[in-house]
Amino acid sequence: MHTWRKASIPAKTPIALTIGNFDGVHLGHQAMLAHLRKTATAQELPACVMTFEPHPQEFFAPDRAPARLTNLREKLHYLIQSGVDCVHIGRFNFDFARITAEDFIENILCRQLSVRWLLVGDDFRFGARRAGDFSLLQAYSTTHNFTVEAMSSVTLDNVRISSTSVRHALGNGDLKTAQRLLGRPYCISGRVIDGDKLGKQIGFPTANIQLQHSNPPLTGIFVVSVRGALAESPETSLPGVASLGVRPTTHANGKPVLEVYLFDFNRNIYGRKLQVDFLHKLRDEVKFPDLQALIRQIEQDVLLAKDFFRTMKPQPNMLCNIV
C-alpha cells in the first residue's frame, strides 16, 4: 500500500479514516471529507483517506467499467485540497481482491493503519465477494477499539449525489448539472503531446492533451477554459474550444483524443501540463463529407464559443488548479 502524507505521522499513530473510490471527489465526497476532518480535529487524530487504484470495477471487468471522472493524480489533488493529512492508496490486484472482510478489518484497518475512528458510506461493502458491511464493522469495533460511523447520502434537489449521477450528466452534455454536483467545472488535465498537426494546416492549431484513460465520460465539442499554457502565469485561464472524441471526419482508428484550440494564442507548449475546464457543450461529433465542411463548422464553433464568453455571467471562482 502506497501512502501519501501531507505531514509527518509516526508509525502506529491512531488515525481517523474514511474509505472509498472517491472518483470525481464530488459534493457528496466533499461532505464526507469535511465530517472526517471535523471529527479528526475534535479527537486529535490525523485525518486520513483510503482509496484504491485501479478502480475495482476496472480490475474485474475493464470492458464494462464506468468512465473515470478523475485520474489518480487529479483525485489526489482534490483529496489533498480538502485538507486531509494522508491518503493510503491500496493497489487493487488479485491478492487484494482475495482478502476476506475479517482480515481487512484485523490486518489492514487495525494492525497496519491503527484506525481509531472510521467513517464509511451507507452503502459501503468490502472484502472478498463484498461480504463485509457496516454491521460487520460494528461487530468488530468494540473488541478492536475503534468507532465506526455510517454517513447518509448527500442529495441535491432530492437526487443522490454520486459519481454515477455526475457521469450521467456529463454523458448527456449537461455541464451545468455536472458542475453543481461537483462544486466546480468538470476538468481533464494532461500533458501536451505531439499530434498530426492537421489543425495547424487548416488554420486552427490545437494542443493535443494526453488522456490517461481511453473511455472519457463525455464527448463532443465544448467551450473550455484552459490553465497551464502560460509559463509565466500558469494559473491564468485562457478561453478556447475543445474537441473530445474520435474525430470521425479525419481518422478511422476510433481512439478518443482531446484537442484544444486557444483563441489568439501562438506559443510552443509541447510538454506543458494543461487543465481543461469544460464550461458548455456546443454540439456532438459529426462526420462531415469533406475537410472544407469541417473547417466551416469549426469557424462556426469558434464564433459561438466567443459569444459564450462575451455573454457569460460572472461566476464565483470555482476553478481548481491541478496543473
Whole-structure pTM value: 0.91
Burial 188-225 (b: 16+ CB within 10 A, else e): bbbbbeebeebbeeeebbbbbbebebeebbbbbbbbbb
Q: Residue 208's closest CA among 163, 251, 172?
A: 251
Q: Using the structure block, give the residue that is written with the C-alpha cell 451507507.
A: 122
- In what order do the strands lie in the sheet containing 2-5? 2-5, 86-91, 47-53, 15-19, 115-121, 147-151
The type of residue at 283 is R
277, containing H or E segment: strand 273-283
Q: Residue 307's closest CA among 277, 282, 274, 275?
A: 282
| Cβ neighbours of residue 168 closer than 8 Å, sequence gap 6 or more | none
Angle at 241 between CA 235 and CA 247, to 5 degrees: 125
Q: Establish whether the linkage from the previous residue to 54 is cis, with ω within 30° of 0.
A: yes
Q: Could you tell me the CA-to-CA distances from 39 to 75, 87, 280 in Å, in that order?
A: 22, 17, 38
Domain positions in the chain? 2-159, 184-311
* Identical fold, 2-159 and 184-311: no
Tens of each residue's pLDDT in the chain, 323 residues: 567 666 667 678 999 999 999 999 999 999 999 999 999 999 999 999 999 998 888 888 888 889 999 999 999 999 999 999 999 999 999 999 999 999 999 999 999 999 999 999 988 999 999 999 999 999 999 999 999 999 999 999 888 999 999 999 999 999 999 999 999 999 999 999 998 888 888 889 999 999 988 899 999 999 999 999 999 999 999 999 999 999 999 888 778 999 999 999 999 999 999 999 999 999 999 999 999 999 999 999 999 999 999 998 656 555 566 66
- What radius of gyration, in Å, describes the C-alpha atoms of the chain? 22
What pLDDT score was predicted for residue 61? 87
Angle at 68 between CA 174 and CA 35, to 5 degrees: 85
The type of residue at 245 is G
What pLDDT score was predicted for residue 223? 98
Query: At the fourth CATH level, which superfamily is domain 184-311?
Result: Riboflavin kinase-like (2.40.30.30)
The CATH class that applies to domain 2-159 reads: alpha beta
User: CA 33, CA 29: separation in Å to the nearest integer?
Assistant: 6
How far does CA 221 lie from the centroid of its chain? Answer: 20
What pLDDT score was predicted for residue 191? 96
The type of residue at 128 is A
